[in-house]
């Protein structure tokens, strides 16, 4: 285990743009407010989605599209830096009209119908991602 202490900074409340790509909007928001590290929570609806599941043996993401309108019942994630730029790591739980739920790692291609997002800024040491040999994932370096 590795850990580091942070304190809470600003809280940003945002309404994301209809028709925009969810991950692009989150990164744009982080840039606009100069947030380097943070926690994300949100809800709303997507016009369509693209989720991913990490294959721990093959060490790669398997992506799958969901080509229908879905309720965004839970968005959780974080902001840190990767290759010197803001990066959002987002997981979603999405619900279909009959109540079935899908979940996974948000990939590019999640299109916003409406989304209310709350960003909690975290102030502390630089939180930067780097390739981790064991998992094959870009994990936080130095923790
Ligand atoms: Zn993930």
Q: How far is the CA of 127 from the centre of ligand 1 (A)?
A: 16
58-70, pLDDT tens digit by residue?
A: 999 999 999 999 9
Mean pLDDT of the chain: 97
17-45, pLDDT tens digit by residue?
A: 999 999 999 999 999 999 999 999 999 99
Q: How far is the CA of 46 from the centre of ligand 1 (A)?
A: 18
Q: How far is the CA of 91 from the centre of ligand 1 (A)?
A: 6
% of the chain surpassing 90 pLDDT: 98
% of the chain surpassing 70 pLDDT: 100
Question: Which residues hold their Cβ within 5 A of ligand 1, which is an ion?
Answer: 105
Q: How far is the CA of 17 from the centre of ligand 1 (A)?
A: 23
Please list, residue by residue across 22-55, b when 16 or more beta carbons sit within 10 angstroms of its beta carbon and e when fewer do. Answer: bbebbbbbbeeeebbbbbbebebbbeebbbbeee
- What was the pLDDT predicted at 143? 86
Query: What does pTM read for this prediction?
Result: 0.96
């Amino acid at each position: 285990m590795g850990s580091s202490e942070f304190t809470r900074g600003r809280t940003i409340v945002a309404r994301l743009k209809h028709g925009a790509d969810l991950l692009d909007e989150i990164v744009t928001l982080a840039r606009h407010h100069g947030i380097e590290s943070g926690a994300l929570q949100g809800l709303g609806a997507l016009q369509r989605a693209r989720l991913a599941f990490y294959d721990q043996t093959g060490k790669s993401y398997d992506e799958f599209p969901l080509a229908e309108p879905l309720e965004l019942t839970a968005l959780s994630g974080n902001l840190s830096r990767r290759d010197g730029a803001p990066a959002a790591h987002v997981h979603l739980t999405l619900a279909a009209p009959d109540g079935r739920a899908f979940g996974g790692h948000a990939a590019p291609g999640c299109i916003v119908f409406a989304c209310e997002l709350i960003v909690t800024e975290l102030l502390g040491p630089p939180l930067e991602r780097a390739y981790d040999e064991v998992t094959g994932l870009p994990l936080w370096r130095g923790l």
